[in-house]
Structure 1
Amino acid sequence: MDNYQDKEHEQSANFEEMRDLAIKQLKSGKSLTGEGGVFAPLLKQFLDSALEAEMETHLQAEKKSNKKNKRNGKRKKMVKTSAGEIELITPQDRNNDFEPVIVPKRSTILADSLSPKILALYSKGMSLRDISEYIQEMYDSKVSAQTLSSIIDKVLPEVKAWQNRDLKPVYSIVWMDAIHFKVKGEDGRVTSRAVYNVLALDEEGKMDLIGMYISESEGAKFCLSVLTHLKNRGLNDILIACTDNLKGFSEAIQSIYPDTEIQKYIIHQIRNSIKYVASKDQKEFMKDLKLVYRATTSELTENELNNLKGKWGAKYPIVIESWERNWDELTNYFKYDSHIRKMIYTTNAVGRVSSPGP
């Protein structure tokens, strides 16, 4: 039991270190997947698991062919990747006929474009067959679906543990936003998937990516299931929840966290508004709209909204009505100091998690 607790503590400590490094790199604009990036250990873990899974598949094939063979220790080697040098643990077999595919014998360089793609292909929902075909086509290396399945089976328990880990009881700010992907299924059809990133700021001012959830669409029902899952993991209260203005989101949040203040993303409101404005008017309309959301006080921003309504209300009533309907949840940020307002009403923080820069 003590060994299990020590291992659990070690894994927790490793996660804390990776999380802190990720936040530091996000703030500095450094790529998470480049050299020295936080995902280098994750890549090593994936490749080590891949080699172990390939060895298991190899030994099973040997057994079916009535060949006597078994493991014969392990060997370390350094491999260069786009995330820097990684020390891999390569399993050995007694017959010395094990030929790994993903990291071949005597290979000391992993294709720069392969290392991040190995992680990205599965995370975007590609089938095992698609991943296998992709690797074979791009790198002339055949990896069976069985081997890929073995690799994923080794990685998934740790992913599940991260997805269901305990959360702090209170977070000051929680950002929820979705990024959309096109995914090709087993039947060859391409469908859309929404990945919800949930980023949180705790009471000590530390950021933490507390969840990633995949859905076929960005809807209030799924938002409710995400919030319920967060609640079950120990998150009892949120001071401010930042989200977009999809119908039903506010009701979903307040059904789980009734005392939470909701700040809707202004950038989403702007994008939704400009869709209804004729192209010939967009430049002038945006100039007037900036006076609304860049005002320094709640009184000034209300005055600018009235000016916007007086000038454009008759021509674009749907746009003005949308701002008025969502006004309270678009302007909660005025309750706070100016230096934290922008981080509340924009999606910059969660956006960097979704798309880390070069």
Structure 2
Amino acid sequence: MTKPTFDMEEAIEALRSGKDLTGKDGILTPLIKQLTEAALGAEMTEHLSDKKPGNRRNGKSSKTVNTPSSSFELDTPRDRDGSFEPQLIKKHQTHLTDEMERKIVALFSLGTSYQDIRAHIADLYGIEVSNGTISAITDKLLPELQAWRERDLEPLYPILWLDAIHYKIKENGRYVSKAVYTILALNVEGKKELLGLYLSDSEGAHQWLSILTDLHNRGIKDILIACVDGLKGFPEAIETIYPQTEVQLCIIHQIRNYMKYVASKNQKAFMADLKCVYKAATLNAEEIALDELEAKWGDKYPVVIKSWRNKWALLSAYFKYPEYVRKAIYTTNAVEAVHRQFRKLTKTKGGFANENSLLKLLYAGILKASERWSHPIQNWNLTLSQLSIHFEGRLEDYIDL
């Protein structure tokens, strides 16, 4: 029986009647099938011409092939001795191109749920995909993620922000909270770069020490400024691996952590006085403002004042710099902005089935977010000049001053 061919006049008439070009019953689907099978037939002809004379065609095998615009039953020619290996559509291949896979990964990187991804793919291509298929496609990110986590790093980074975010991950039949450690850097060009993601059962100085050791092993020999929260032992962990690094405690974390000790009726007035401390123009002015804060509130809130006094050296490091440098380092806002992006990706997820399901989603989000990190931060040249003065001799080998 003669195989039906693509009829141009019928296609034009179908188009005029409003039929879709693409999709399951689209006008172009028979043409795609016809062209693909013709190409496979040509491959078989070439294969037989190069092989022993006794080999010949031996019927066809059929399978469903998905394309970016439709799906159809493809007849692939077979040869008698089974030596034919088609190249256009390989033996176990079920997609004509990887466009649909790229679309699935793109939707996944936006935090789109599997249910919504299935709906999008059905709408775009007329193809039903399962959760298992989506998972298998996004699992292709895992080797790439592993290579990214193990890549070599630059020998020097002027500024690092380090923080952790917590997620629920299923383990032994129940969900447990785990910490994802995020390390965001500014490289010598002033561009943001996420150096790594690390997963641990909890957040602590010991885990940070292990992470800093890994960063050192991956090539980082010097860090000028590290911006961190108030986690106990964190500055000491940094000093163990990078003894010359200047540590700046996050002012905002310090405020959040100790405002709970201030009565709600006094918080507004206390914050107004505290703002005079951390927003002072100079270190001397800040110290005067802190003395005034203690004189006014020290009897009522000694724990709060004592904390500021005990951490003063690490809280006040940013005062040696001009405003455009201070803005970058006095908080961990830069890495917290990455965490806000992570939360957008994961907001529909109550928990994750395993560690890989979380990490591949965060990695996909990183790839998307880093597209916007193609330019240096504001005032980077001025900032670099200031850093070269304050950290004399440590930048010359890495930049042209």
Class of the TM-score when normalised by the shorter of the 2 chains: 0.5 to 0.7
Which residue in 2 is equivalent to 1:44? none
CA deviations 1:305-350 (Å, max 9, x no partner) are 1111111111111111111111100111112222110110112222
Which residue in 2 is equivalent to 1:143? 130
Matches within 5 A, 1:1-358: 75=67, 116-117=107-108, 120=111, 143=130, 145=132, 147=133, 150-181=136-167, 183-185=168-170, 187=172, 189-356=174-341
More moved, 147-156 vs 232-241: 147-156
5+ unaligned residues in a row in structure 1: which ranges?
1-66, 79-90, 122-130
CA distance in 2, matches of 1:226, 1:321: 31
Return closer, same or farther for 1:98/1:162 CA change in 2, 3 Å cut-off.
closer
CA distance in 2, matches of 1:96, 1:319: 65
CA distance in 1, matches of 2:68, 2:114: 26
Return closer, same or farther for 1:96/1:316 CA change in 2, 3 Å cut-off.
closer
Return closer, same or farther for 1:95/1:297 CA change in 2, 3 Å cut-off.
closer
5+ unaligned residues in a row in structure 2: which ranges?
1-59, 71-87, 123-127, 345-368, 370-401
Assess if the C-alpha contact under 8 Å between 1:289 and 1:308 holds in 2: yes
Normalising to structure 2: TM-score of the pair?
A: 0.56
Which residue in 2 is equivalent to 1:45? none
CA distance in 1, matches of 2:296, 2:238: 35
More moved, 263-272 vs 210-219: 210-219
Assess if the C-alpha contact under 8 Å between 1:71 and 1:93 holds in 2: no
| SS of equivalent to 1:267 | helix
Assess if the C-alpha contact under 8 Å between 2:294 and 2:305 holds in 1: yes
Number of residue-to-residue matches in the alignment: 261
Assess if the C-alpha contact under 8 Å between 1:180 and 1:194 holds in 2: yes
Residue 281 of structure 1: how far off its partner (Å) = 1.2
Residue 186 of structure 1: how far off its partner (Å) = 5.3
Q: Could you tell me the percent identity over the aligned residues? A: 49
CA RMSD of aligned residues (A): 3.9
Residue 153 of structure 1: how far off its partner (Å) = 4.3
CA distance in 2, matches of 1:314, 1:138: 62
| SS of equivalent to 1:277 | coil
Return closer, same or farther for 1:220/1:95 CA change in 2, 3 Å cut-off.
closer
